[in-house]
Structure 1
């Protein structure tokens, strides 16, 4: 009898689906998996809807302009929608460093480099594919780690791409807001150490209602879930309610 109970517990454990990433620990690997197995049939950037190829080269987007990071405007980069710093600073290794974070010259270091070196938990969060989307490199660079909001200015910083950045805040185009908000809500629900501000959460909940899921967002989440062996319950619940799953 004990053997049977143990057997069934083992079987159930085999099929357990986690809320957070516990499968892919490498940020580099996560980017490769996204490129080859998730976005291989949907090569379009999050903010600008620009097409890109398997070599990360961006097809020139009509009307797109930028005055900075001109070389990075030619390729895509994998953007942390919830910036790595926003959850990284909850780790002591990021804030204060660690005894293992010493360079070959004996100099101590901290920040992202230290958290990545020392903390397995941080590496899993950093590599969570639900939080990674392709973005034109220049847009990724200029968005930096800024939180999202609605800005008073009506002028885009990138010409035909309606992404606005001002005073260390960013306003994304409407086409990106649904995916962005459900990424923020997912990260907060999956990782207890990460919490949004009250104002950011209020905005994300409003956008969640205003910009519902579409087929691609549901398909993407399903692909990532099978590869990462974890569930984005926020997207999944919206997709089921909309009849898209």
Structure 2
């Protein structure tokens, strides 16, 4: 794993004078729009199933894709947090306990994602980090939920030809997605002090990172996000440099 030493400033990690964490855009909705229009505009393909989608968010599923759940959402693309928002959101007191200002129109207190988003700017920056957002078929996003990734031998996919497996609150992604998923987890773990992988999850992600190398598209995606978000992804960049898909800095 690529390890870097950073300086902690205002809860965010900086490296060699360059911003690593997202601190330019706290809006999840704006992040989704930028990804659709300025990152994926010529590569409209979902992360897990390789489905195509158009500028109006309509999905064209791959041949053999099926689902019996969330059928309406299967027709639309959604932007998936590969590292689920809950996995880092639980680190914020507003998510766990709520806040005095998290009260709805009926006077009822609330907590969780809605409260963290309302009251904590650091959470909003993490939630809107485009390096952690990937297009997914809505039904697959819904069924993956906030489940951790693992290997699920003997489990069959519920999505027909798309080998995304979900069982007992765990998920196993298709081979084609594992490298990108691993490097996203490693990026979030290295970048945000509020998020930390378990030892078991980190071992799996390190293994997937080594087994499934970067592609030209993965490197292009990161370059585009860096330009828009004005922050670095040293995990993926280093793998791209090693693969000769990214010119090394002098």
TM band (smaller chain) = over 0.9
Greater gyration radius: 1
Over residues 72-91 of structure 1, what are the superposed CA-to-partner deviations in whole Å (9 max), with x where a residue is unaligned?
Answer: 00011000000000000000
* 1:4 matched residue in structure 2: none
* Distance in 1 of aligned mates of 2:32 and 2:18: 22
* Distance in 2 of aligned mates of 1:170 and 1:241: 30
* 1:31 matched residue in structure 2: 32
Moved over 4 A (4+): none
TM-score using structure 2 length = 0.91
Over residues 48-94 of structure 1, what are the superposed CA-to-partner deviations in whole Å (9 max), with x where a residue is unaligned?
Answer: 00111001101132100101000000011000000000000000000
* Count of aligned pairs between the two proteins: 232
Over residues 8-65 of structure 1, what are the superposed CA-to-partner deviations in whole Å (9 max), with x where a residue is unaligned?
Answer: xxxxxxx942110001110000000000000001000000001110011011321001
1:154 Cα deviation from its structure 2 partner: 4.2
Root-mean-square deviation (CA, aligned residues, Å) is 1.2
Over residues 160-181 of structure 1, what are the superposed CA-to-partner deviations in whole Å (9 max), with x where a residue is unaligned?
Answer: 0000000000000000001000
* 2:212 matched residue in structure 1: 211
Q: How does 1:63-212 map to 2 (within 5 A)?
A: 63-212=64-213
Point out where structure 2 has 5 or more consecutive residues left out of the alignment.
1-15
Q: Which has the higher helix share?
A: 1
Quick check: 2:155–2:167 contact (8 Å CA) kept in 1?
no
- The farther-off stretch of 15-24 and 33-42 is 15-24
Secondary structure at the aligned position of 1:66 is classed as: coil
Quick check: 2:45–2:52 contact (8 Å CA) kept in 1?
yes
* Distance in 2 of aligned mates of 1:144 and 1:181: 17
1:193 Cα deviation from its structure 2 partner: 1.2
TM-score using structure 1 length = 0.93
* Distance in 2 of aligned mates of 1:243 and 1:208: 16
1:233 Cα deviation from its structure 2 partner: 0.6
Q: Which has the higher strand share?
A: 2
